Structure 1
Amino acid sequence: MYWLQTLSSSITVIFLGLCLQLTTGEAADIQKLLDVNVIPMGPAKSGEKIELACSVQSYWTNCALVKVYTLSNPPIDFPLGNFNYTYCACPGEAKTFFWTIQSSRTVNVGCGAVFLLDNVCPEGQNSIPPQNKRRYSVNMKTLKIIS
């Protein structure tokens, strides 16, 4: 009976070690490759136009196409249009994107960025998007509306 308990314990330890190794391996693969930061906005008056600015930086080892878009909850107005931007993001370069927004109430607003699979970076730049890694980033801030 003692040998059976020892064998059972050994198998359990090996199984847990294997699970821990697999989990740790996954965590290493899911690294932050895109960083999105919303530039802080001061409070605005109801209906006032304000600028939403988001900075995006890639930590991927190659240049790759990135789409940048807005998020809000509840929905907000874009007097000049709610544009999605695409650009060729290269390692270590940060780029800032701007939108004019308007709201009559306090909202959570921000930006998201995602790697795309299209190959449209200029010739000579390696434009391979990351595979099996975190391919997006989101950042939100609260836009406070004052009366």
Structure 2
Amino acid sequence: MYCLQTLGSSIAVIFLGLCLQLLTTGEAADIQKLLDVNVTPMLPAKPGQKIELACSVQSYWTNCAPVKVYTLSNPPIVFPFGNLNYTYCACPGETKTLYWTIQSSKTMNVGCGAAFYPDDVCREGQNSIPPQNKRRYGTDMKTLKIIS
């Protein structure tokens, strides 16, 4: 009886491992990252101090395409000069850095996101939308430390 229980659980473990392997392999093969977002690390700041948030975005898509770049934070952050969303034409191999001025009274996570956007910001004939089976966005977050 013990042998049958061990055999049954071994088969279940092998089956589960096979399913997990197929799921992770299939996802990695189907989803290719097309936008890379990097937030420049920020030095510790005092409460209420104005800090520069810098985000670099690079496109790995084969053609130029419209990209929208926006901020992310948890909890919401203060933008003394406004929270702008940028839209620009991202071409392969080019990196664009965008800047925001932010303030906070406590330590928090802050960053940027970028996504392909259906807008006509590229020159005529350059607009291109990546295929649906590709990852069409990127994000990056860093911790902003507030010290007293």
Give TM class, smaller chain: 0.7 to 0.9
Is 1:83 equivalent to 2:80 in the alignment?
A: no
Q: In 2 relative to 1, CA 117–129 (structure 1 residues): closer, same or farther, beyond 3 Å?
A: farther
* In structure 1, C-alpha distance between the alignment counterparts of 2:146 and 2:24, rounded to whole Å: 44
Distance 2:126 2:89 in 1: 9
CA distance in 1, matches of 2:27, 2:57: 25
Measured after TM superposition, the shift of residue 116 of structure 1 is 1.2
Contact 1:65–1:129 (Cα < 8 Å) also in 2: no
Partners of 2:121 and 2:50 in 1: CA distance:
34
Compute the RMSD of aligned alpha carbons. Answer: 2.0
| Residue aligning to 1:138 | 139
Distance in 2 separating the partners of 1:91 and 1:100? 28
Amino acid at match of 2:130: P
Q: How many residues align?
A: 131
Distance 1:129 1:73 in 2: 30
Deviation at 1:125, TM superposition (A): 2.1
Tell me the distance in 2 between the aligned counterparts of 1:126 and 1:67: 14
Aligned to 2:129: 128
Asked if the contact 1:47/1:102 (under 8 Å) is kept, the reply is: yes
Contact conserved, 1:38 with 1:141, CA < 8 A, in 2?
yes
CA contact (8 A) 1:119 1:127 kept: no
Q: Report the alpha carbon displacement of residue 129 of structure 1 after superposing the two structures with TM.
A: 3.0
TM-score, length-normalised on structure 1? 0.81
Which residue does the alignment assign to 2:49? Answer: 48
- Displacement, 1:85? 0.3
Paired position in structure 1 for 2:119: 118
For 1:68, the equivalent position in structure 2 comes to: 69
TM-score w.r.t. the length of structure 2 is 0.81
1:131 offset after TM fit, Å? 2.3
Aligned residue identity for 1:115: F
Kept in 2: contact 1:46–1:103 (CA 8 A): yes
Look up the equivalent residue of 2:96 and give its one-letter code. K
Counterpart secondary structure, 1:40? coil
Contact 1:46 1:146 in 2 (8 A): yes
In structure 2, list runs of 5 or more residues that go unmatched: 1-17
Q: Displacement, 1:123?
A: 1.8
